[in-house]
Amino acid sequence: MSDTALDVTGWTCPAPLRDRPRVVMGHGGGGALSAELVEHLFAPAFGGEVLAGLGDSAAVTLGGARLAFSTDSYVVRPLFFPGGSIGDLAVNGTVNDLAMSGARAAYLSCGFILEEGVEMSVVARVAEALGAAARAAGVEVATGDTKVVEAGHGDGVYINTSGIGLIPEGVDLRAQRVVPGDVVIVSGEIGLHGVAIMSVREGLEFGVDVESDCAALGGLVQAMLAVTPDLHVLRDPTRGGLAASLNEIAAASGTGVVIQEGRVPVPEAVANACAILGLDPLYVANEGKLVAFVPREHADAVLDAMRAHPLGRRARVIGEAVDAHPGLVVARTGLGGTRVVDLPIGEQLPRIC
């Protein structure tokens, strides 16, 4: 050990995770634990103004061009599921993160981490799915990397993708732009991806086949921006579901959010599965939906444009931003009561009975 005296005055606590001396699964769940990890450990360690925005993708200016830049890693189990595969997810997830900045994704990088022993035919199927999804999304895989880890040190295939795209002139999508009176629109039925994954991972069957909604949202976003570039914020409610996205927006914008619970489109099979397991569909992951905060005067036109697009046919207004209860999301229940819709802590846990 060095004899040099350590200057601790400039230190910030890297991890005030008092009760969590080790990483738990909830740190990757997209809820309060994930946010704490990023805000209190990663962000202080990395520094940088761009990162402080903490959006789905970063908006950066390079050589005069406004670029959206994003990365995501995919560790889904099983690798193939109803409605998609890890290959589709690895493209659509990153394309969607870019789309939430208003950007049309242009180039992706693709890093494969393969587990020793995984069948080559499986890798080939994943790669083909990834390529097909990229072509469908109009994005080119421009660079990549492959690593192999020892047997037992992975789940077959992990994928990391990063992507860049151009943000059109006049588009500035940030939670900070949300103001009371903005209308909250969701692009379709929620909870399909999470329930589809649960149904195959846990061997649960809910009487109806549920397919993941995995899809690239770039086209839908461009259709919305064609109506008006003045959308305030877009989010794709993946981990943590709609509840997490609404909470992030409420917290970052300092406005309250009110939703009508009965207006949130929940497919029957998702509602049934959630009822059985004691889960709340608002917290279940989606992979092909977005939530938009739109100035009231543009809401009808944006809604019409969304409904004219195949991925927005079931778009609905579910609520609005309000000046009451800043930072909180509140649901009006079907019976006329109200409840707070909180940020999930970690992962949702099925109830005992």
Partner 1 sequence: MRYIDEFQDPELARRLLDDIHATVTRPWALMEVCGGQTHTIIRHGIDQLLPERVELIHGPGCPVCVTPLEVIDKALEIASRPNVIFCSFGDMLRVPGTGRDLFQVRSEGGDVRVVYSPLDALRIARQNPARQVVFFGIGFETTAPPNAMTVYQAKKLGIANFSLLVSHVRVPPAIEAIMRSPSCRVQGFLAAGHVCSVMGTGEYPGLAERHRVPIVVTGFEPLDILEGVRRAVHQLERGEHTVDNAYARAVRPEGNPAALAMLEDVFEVTDRAWRGIGIIPDSGWRLSARYREFDAEHRFSVTGIQTREPAECRSGEVLQGLLKPHECEAFGTLCTPRNPLGATMVSSEGACAAYYLYRRLELTPAPQAGTAAPLEASPVV
Q: Which residues bind partner 1 (CB under 8 A)?
A: 18-26, 32, 180, 183, 202, 204, 256, 258, 260, 263, 268, 271-272, 275, 277-278, 296, 299-300, 303, 317, 319-320, 322-326, 328, 330, 332-340, 342, 345-346, 349-353
Nearer to partner 1, 90 or 257 (CB): 257
Minimum Å gap between C-beta 175 and partner 1 is 18
Kindly tell me which of 115 and 342 has the beta carbon lying closer to partner 1. 342
The DSSP bridge pattern shows strands 329-332 and 256-260 to be parallel
Angle at 236 between CA 141 and CA 303, to 5 degrees: 115
Count of alpha carbons within 13 angstroms of residue 86, beta-carbon side? 27
What is the DSSP annotation of 89-128? HHHHHHHHHHHTTTPEEEEEEEEEEEETT--HHHHHHHHH
Q: How far is the CB of 154 from partner 1 (least distance, A)?
A: 17
Smallest distance from partner 1 to CB 74, Å: 22
Query: Closest CB to partner 1 among 214 and 269?
Result: 269
Q: Which is nearer to partner 1, 81 or 283 (CB)?
A: 283
Nearby residues of 81 by Cβ (< 8 Å), 6 or more positions away: 196, 197, 200, 212
CB of 132 or CB of 271, closer to partner 1: 271
CB of 158 to partner 1, least distance (A): 19
Closer of 23 and 65 to partner 1 (Cβ): 23
Q: Is the dihedral of CA 162, 311, 342, 325 positive or negative?
A: positive
Residues 6+ apart with CB under 8 A from 179: 232, 253, 255, 295, 321
The distance of closest approach from Cβ of residue 342 to partner 1 in the complex, given in angstroms and rounded to an integer, is 5
CB of residue 102 to partner 1, shortest distance in Å: 22
